[in-house]
Amino acid sequence: MKVLVVGGGGREHALVWKIAQSPRVSRIYCAPGNAGISQLAECVNIKANDISSLKKFALEERIDLTVVGPEAPLIEGIVDEFSQAGLRVFGPNRNAAQLEGSKALAKHFMAKYNIPTASYAAFSNEKEAMDYVREKGGPLVVKASGLAAGKGVIVCQHTADALDAVRRVIVDKEFGEAGSQVVIEEYLEGEEVSILAFTDGKTIVPMIPAQDHKRVFDNDKGPNTGGMGAYAPAPLYTPELHQVVVKEILEPTVKGMTEMGWPFKGVLYAGLMVTKDGPRVLEYNVRFGDPEAQPLLSLLDTDLVDIMEAVIDERLDQLDVKWKDGASVCVIMSAPGYPGNYPKGDVITGLDKVPEDITVFHAGTALENGNFVTNGGRVLGVTAVAADIPGAIDRAYQGVKKINFNGAHYRSDIGQKALKDR
């Protein structure tokens, strides 16, 4: 079969890499892809949000399965467009994808279905938002309601910081149209964990728990990024906690979406804060996380194409999804200046020196004159699998140390939280 993967980052490289392992797949295309992906798939020069061109390509090439990586095309309705054209596509439709597209809508949804989350209020008016901040006082979390590439969340320890954050979101439009509405939440104490699940709208198959590292510097310092690394499994996610999450969060979410007339099919991602009072939903995503996809797909033992087809056909209950033993760690190497302004076009060296058992997923890369060069903020995701977390951490950093480009930045503490949770 022929598969089209939509997107061009590290998550999409991991998806292409996993799909390429399926004996059922004869050819993979990726739009737009990147330099690393081009080693496994034919890259097509179509942007991920150019839905009409993607549909035309899929029809002309008789694509058997389209896999959508990023959130933006899902929220814009790529699944609806492809399905109406008779194309098989993996991911939630436009309505279901609003769980990620609007943080305000997601919070209203959680309130309606009694899904545990932080108390909140949503505003489009600057004065009303400011008044609410003054009434509540810090610490608070201020979020742009729309899509902001993982960067629209501002954690504010003090009231003054929260007032400034509201101004940045609503008045200065730092996150563009994503900030036309602002969500202000209570600050939750605890540790974060990412719970992703395959679902066909009826059956829920949770993946192993992962943990992302959002801040750009060690010890969770500096601004939020799209993610500086991830590991799986996360030891703080105990079997007892899993029972609570399935019963109080995953099942009510999938059931609630069906009741709303928005049945959810694809990957449901619940970003959770594990508090002393139990798990709380920080946000929903409607696709694989990036960089969580890299360690998760490294540990998936079942053919990903089989799972995706079972989701589309609503027969996930007939599949036994298996995971490999051990652990996986992904360390992101970013361009200097990320998540702010950063240079492009710097030559990447040492990729050929990385041991074969370590996988380097390309995120922001291009090919120039036969060289891999930087072409984004997050450049590479160096991913290793080992018997346990310490072994995977050690192996991943051995890979990182082989690679170089001008000003390369990475956190040196990816996975360390897992060691104290053991």
Answer yes or no: is 162 within a domain. Answer: yes
Q: What is the CATH number of the domain that holds 398?
A: 3.90.600.10
14-19: average pLDDT? 98
Listed residues 61, 94, 127: the one ending a domain:
94
Q: Report the candidate in 138, 141, 145 with the shortest Cα–Cα distance to residue 124.
A: 145
Instruction: For residues 182 and 200, state if they share a domain.
Output: no
151 vs 50 pLDDT, higher one: 50
Lowest mean pLDDT among 10-24, 107-121, 143-157, 356-370: 143-157
**pLDDT interval class at 419 (50, 70, 90):** very high
Listed residues 186, 212, 240: the one ending a domain:
186
Instruction: For residues 223 and 311, state if they share a domain.
Output: yes
Give the pLDDT confidence score for residue 412 in this predicted structure: 98
**pLDDT interval class at 154 (50, 70, 90):** confident
Q: What is the CATH number of the domain that holds 9?
A: 3.40.50.20
Answer yes or no: is 28 within a domain. Answer: yes
Q: Residue 331 in 3-state DSSP? A: strand
Instruction: For residues 211 and 262, state if they share a domain.
Output: yes
263-290: average pLDDT? 96
The structural domain count of the chain equals 4
Q: How far is CA 305 from the centre of its chain?
A: 19
**pLDDT interval class at 60 (50, 70, 90):** very high
Distance CA 264, CA 198 (A): 10
Answer yes or no: is 168 within a domain. Answer: yes
Instruction: For residues 313 and 195, state if they share a domain.
Output: yes
Q: Is the pLDDT of residue 175 over 90?
A: no
Q: Report the candidate in 320, 294, 289 with the shortest Cα–Cα distance to residue 307.
A: 320
Answer yes or no: is 99 within a domain. Answer: no
Instruction: For residues 402 and 415, state if they share a domain.
Output: yes
User: CA end-to-end span of the chain, whole Å?
Assistant: 43
Q: What is the CATH number of the domain that holds 243?
A: 3.30.470.20
Distance CA 209, CA 200 (A): 20
Mean pLDDT over each residue of the chain, to the nearest integer? 95
Give the pLDDT confidence score for residue 145 in this predicted structure: 81
Instruction: For residues 160 and 242, state if they share a domain.
Output: no
pLDDT in tens, 124-135: 888 889 999 999
Q: HSE on the CB side for 329, CA within 13 Å?
A: 25
Instruction: For residues 312 and 206, state if they share a domain.
Output: yes
Q: Residue 38 in 3-state DSSP? A: helix
Q: HSE on the CB side for 328, CA within 13 Å?
A: 28
Q: What percent of the chain is modeled with pLDDT above 90? A: 87
**pLDDT interval class at 171 (50, 70, 90):** confident
Instruction: For residues 204 and 284, state if they share a domain.
Output: yes
Answer yes or no: is 286 within a domain. Answer: yes
pLDDT in tens, 365-416: 999 999 999 999 999 999 999 999 999 999 999 999 999 999 999 999 999 9
| pTM listed for this prediction | 0.94
Distance CA 38, CA 255 (A): 39
Answer yes or no: is 393 within a domain. Answer: yes
Quote the domain boundaries for residue 82.
2-94
Q: Is the pLDDT of residue 315 over 70?
A: yes
Q: Is the pLDDT of residue 283 over 80?
A: yes
Placement of tokens 């739009």 in the chain: 31
Q: Is the pLDDT of residue 198 over 90?
A: yes
Lowest mean pLDDT among 94-98, 146-150, 168-172, 359-363: 146-150
Give the pLDDT confidence score for residue 144 in this predicted structure: 87
Listed residues 45, 60, 94: the one ending a domain:
94
